[in-house]
A = this chain, B = another copy of it.
Amino acid sequence: MVVDQLKTKPSDAETDRLFHALADATRRDIVARVTAGEYSVSGLTALYAMSFAAVQKHVAVLERASLVTKEKRGREQIVRGNHEGLQKARHLLDQLEMIWRQRAGRIADILAEDDERDLP
């Protein structure tokens, strides 16, 4: 099932790649652009003050992190946003969020126990 893929915990290496890919302003901008529309690699290069090869490397990093996909069209390579990577990242943050809420819950429990102790 597709759901299984979401519930499957990504490997550490996968997660490393994901967050590392997001830890760069240029790459985040690329993700936003190609999620909103289609860009070739050279189309993206026009947007930034860096060489084609540099952008190419950024796209490769994003691709390895499942945040974008590339598809050959004629002599161009079309880059598109890939929802899968984003969902993975959100899922991982959700897990940390759950740990936080569990802790908050335990604290509430402890306070409740204290209250009980105060009862007659």
Question: Which residues of A line the B interface, CB within 8 A?
Answer: 12, 15-16, 18-20, 22-25, 28, 31-32, 35-37, 81, 83, 86, 89-90, 93, 96-97, 99-100, 102-103
Give 16 A-B contacts (CB < 8 Å), ordered by A residue.
A15-B23, A15-B28, A16-B24, A18-B23, A19-B23, A22-B23, A23-B23, A32-B96, A35-B96, A35-B103, A36-B102, A81-B100, A81-B103, A86-B100, A90-B93, A90-B97
CA distance A18 to B35 in the complex (A): 22
Which secondary structure dominates where chain A touches chain B? helix
Kindly provide the distance from the CB of A78 to the nearest chain B CB, expressed in whole angstroms: 15
**Total copies of this chain within the assembly:** 2
CA distance A96 to B93 in the complex (A): 14
Partner of A99, one of B12, B16, B35, B90: B35
